[in-house]
Structure formats: C-alpha cells, structure tokens
Amino acid sequence: MRVIKMRFFKRFLLAILAMPGLSLAVGLNNPPAPLSGEALGMGEAVAADGNVYNGTAFNPALLANAPYLGEIGLGFNASNSIFGISDYLSSSSNSGSSSSLPAKTVGLGAGFNIALKFDDHWGFQIYYNSHVLLQLAAPVTIETITGPAYFDTVAMVTYNIAPLEDETPLTVGVNLKVVDHRVGIINTSGSPGDLSGFQNQLDKAFNQDTFRWGLDLGLLYDFPEEHVAFGLSALDLLHSAGTIDNNVGDALYGVNLDPAPVVVKFGVSWHPIKPFVLNADLDDLLSSTSYYSGQSFGNHVKLGLSYDLLGILIIRGGYSNGNPSFGGGVPFLGINYAYAVDDVNQIYTHYLIFKADM
C-alpha cells in the first residue's frame, strides 16, 4: 500500500512541477545568467559583444575583450505588477471574504555579481540570482500568499587563448563552473486543515537543493578594422546532472531539478562608431530549452543596440523572444536600469542594478 501511495505522490509532485508558473523555476531554461543591466536592456543579444564585462557567462571567449579588470554588482528586480499593489491590497481589505477581485501575481528578485579579469587569459566570476513569484488571492492575508521561488549560485573560472594569433583574430574560451540550484515553494498558511500532513510533505519535497558542474565553450572571431565580431558559444556542453540527492523511496528521489540543456548561441556585434553598438543573436540553435517550445524559429532571434551619449548617459534597446526591452545607464554613478521580460517568470520586470568597475 505504501508503494502505491508513494508512486501516486511522486506523480502528483511531478505534475505540479510541470505547471507553467513553476516549471520555469526548476532549471528547464537557459543556464542562469548574471544580473546584467547591459544584457537585459539589449535583449541579451551579447554573444559577440565584448563591451559587456560579465558577458563571459554568455560566451567565455569574450574575456579578452572585457574593458575592466573587475566588476562588482548588486541588483534588484520587481515585475510590472508591483505598481498598483497598494490599491489592490486596500481593495482586498475593504471587500471582505466575498471579494470578487482576481488573483494578482508579483515577481520579485535580487542578485549580486563579482567578476575579475586577471589578464587576457584568466578570469573568475561568482554570481547569485533569486526569483520569487508571489501569488496573492483576495482577500489578501498572510495565509493566502503562496508561490514558487528559485535561487541560483554560480562560480566559474574562465580561460581564453588565441590559437592562431599570427594568422586569424580567433579567440577560444572555456568556462568551468559549479552551479548550486535551489527550488522552493512559498506557503505562509498557518491553517492546519485536513491536509496538514500532506502540506508538510509538499514543503519538504519542494525545498530541494542540487549541485552540479558544467563546461562552456566559446569562440570569438574579431575584425577590428571592420568593427565587426562574430561569436559562437555552447553553454553546458559538458555537465553533470542536477539530481536531488534524496534517499531511495523519497517523493522526488532521482528527479533532475537542473537538467542544464546544451544551449548553442551565435551572435554578431557591429561597432560602426565607438559610442554605438548593434548586436544580433540566434539563441538556442538546438531548441534544447523550454523557452521556445511551440514557437517558430524567428523567436530565437535576439536584437540589441546601445548608444553612449558622451559618457553621461547610455541608452539601450532590445528584442528577445518576441518581446521588446529597453534600458539605460549612468556610467559615472554606476547605475543601470532595464525593463525586460523575466526569463524565469515570463512577465515584464523592472531591473535596477548598481555596479562598480575596477
């Protein structure tokens, strides 16, 4: 009897993991990227753009072109639905238990990034990202706030080499990284009800942590005189499985929460003049992620542009998976802003990132 119940419980959990709001949070998408105002504002079309320092997470061959010796960043993000939340809570409070207000979803997150460039060959980067998708049901109380959450910590060592330096401007880069991926479900309900035991099992099952390694390979072919660069990268070309390390018989024993699909990107970056850059990428050429499921190949196109106005203001725009994005930065204050669709929660999100270059 216990075996039958356990099989049913495992199938039930896997069905929940397949729900749209949560499946995006368990590692089915691209490898976690650093919180970068430059990349987000430009539609993440940065596979060949060496101006984005932490672009090595998108293509390890970009390290040699990185403009700084290091960068420290701290960022916060909130979905567009955060606006009007005060009115929603007020309306919910006044409506009582018979409220007909629709449910409201709010995405929140934070992250940090430390990237170091030791020389044109070696670099190191560590970054952390969190995404929480709060689901509020009226009347809103502390007991009715639920939602999925995921947290990623990545540490990587990057190595670049120019194997044909005397003949062609080719750079080859490699990232060797470790990824700690945690998925959880927020449930603030304190009401035991009839399913208290089942709820405890759910909480235990969802709050899981996995650890894996991965290897990225990248190529950069740069034409300085023509101001054009071509980039090709294969993220998680080699990797271990992000499998839950539970005991045999546990509900999610053997489930891979971080499958780390091999993501192949190709990009072109054009700098006709120094302050202006125009980028175009083809993302996920093998269609191995869940981003473009059921969509045409045209959705794999990412476009981005950036214009530096006298070093005072940077204006950015982009297009990714059918969604426009834009952003800006104030370089001398180290402030970057972006408005783009969150790859995890799939809702428009505001990003504010503070960084210091070294």
Yes or no: say if 118 and 142 are a contact pair by the CB < 8 Å rule: no
Q: Mean of the pLDDT values across residues 12-23?
A: 44
Question: Which of the residue ranges 162-176, 191-205, 247-261 has the most confident prediction, judged by mean pLDDT?
Answer: 162-176
Cα gap 284→29, rounded to integer Å:
10
For the stretch 38-57, pLDDT in tens is 889 999 899 998 766 668 88
Question: Which of the residue ranges 9-13, 135-139, 207-211, 315-319 has the most confident prediction, judged by mean pLDDT?
Answer: 315-319
Yes or no: say if 355 and 337 are a contact pair by the CB < 8 Å rule: no
CA-based nearest residue to 52, from 239, 319, 267 = 267
Q: Mean of the pLDDT values across residues 154-161?
A: 93
Supply the pLDDT for residue 17: 47
Supply the pLDDT for residue 202: 47
Supply the pLDDT for residue 298: 81
Tokens 């850059």: give the residue.
277
Yes or no: say if 266 and 282 are a contact pair by the CB < 8 Å rule: yes
Q: Mean of the pLDDT values across residues 22-38?
A: 63
Yes or no: say if 130 and 147 are a contact pair by the CB < 8 Å rule: no
Supply the pLDDT for residue 238: 92
Yes or no: say if 314 and 334 are a contact pair by the CB < 8 Å rule: no
Q: Mean of the pLDDT values across residues 186-191?
A: 54
Q: Lowest-confidence range among 70-74, 87-91, 147-151, 301-305?
A: 87-91
Considering Cα of 45, then 47, then 178, then 262, what sign does the dihedral take? positive
Percentage of the chain beyond pLDDT 90 is 29
DSSP 3-state of 94: helix
Task: Provide the CATH number for the domain around residue 186.
Answer: 2.40.160.40
Please determine, for residue 137, whether its predicted confidence score (pLDDT) is greater than 60.
Answer: yes
Percentage of the chain beyond pLDDT 70 is 69
**In the structure, what pLDDT confidence band is assigned to residue 95 with cuts at 50, 70 and 90?**
low
Supply the pLDDT for residue 311: 83
DSSP 3-state of 37: helix
Q: Lowest-confidence range among 72-86, 128-142, 194-208, 249-263?
A: 194-208
Q: Tell me the pTM.
A: 0.79
Q: Lowest-confidence range among 27-31, 202-206, 223-227, 325-329?
A: 202-206
Cα gap 36→54, rounded to integer Å:
7
Alpha helices in the chain (DSSP H): 2-17, 20-23, 37-41, 85-95, 196-206
Please determine, for residue 194, whether its predicted confidence score (pLDDT) is greater than 50.
Answer: no
Q: Mean of the pLDDT values across residues 183-202?
A: 52
Q: Mean of the pLDDT values across residues 227-238?
A: 92
Structure tokens at 113: 């990034």
Supply the pLDDT for residue 192: 39
Supply the pLDDT for residue 156: 94
**In the structure, what pLDDT confidence band is assigned to residue 99 with cuts at 50, 70 and 90?**
low
DSSP-assigned beta bridge partners for residue 354: 74, 335
Please determine, for residue 64, whether its predicted confidence score (pLDDT) is greater than 60.
Answer: yes
* Average pLDDT value for the chain: 77
Supply the pLDDT for residue 2: 40
Supply the pLDDT for residue 274: 83
Q: Mean of the pLDDT values across residues 267-279?
A: 92
Range of the domain at 244: 2-357
Q: Mean of the pLDDT values across residues 330-352?
A: 86
| Count of structural domains, the chain | 1
Q: What is the DSSP string of 92-130?
A: HHHHGGG--PPPEEEEEEEEEEEEEE-SSSEEEEEEEEE
Supply the pLDDT for residue 187: 62
Supply the pLDDT for residue 207: 65
For the stretch 242-267, pLDDT in tens is 777 666 556 566 666 677 788 899 99
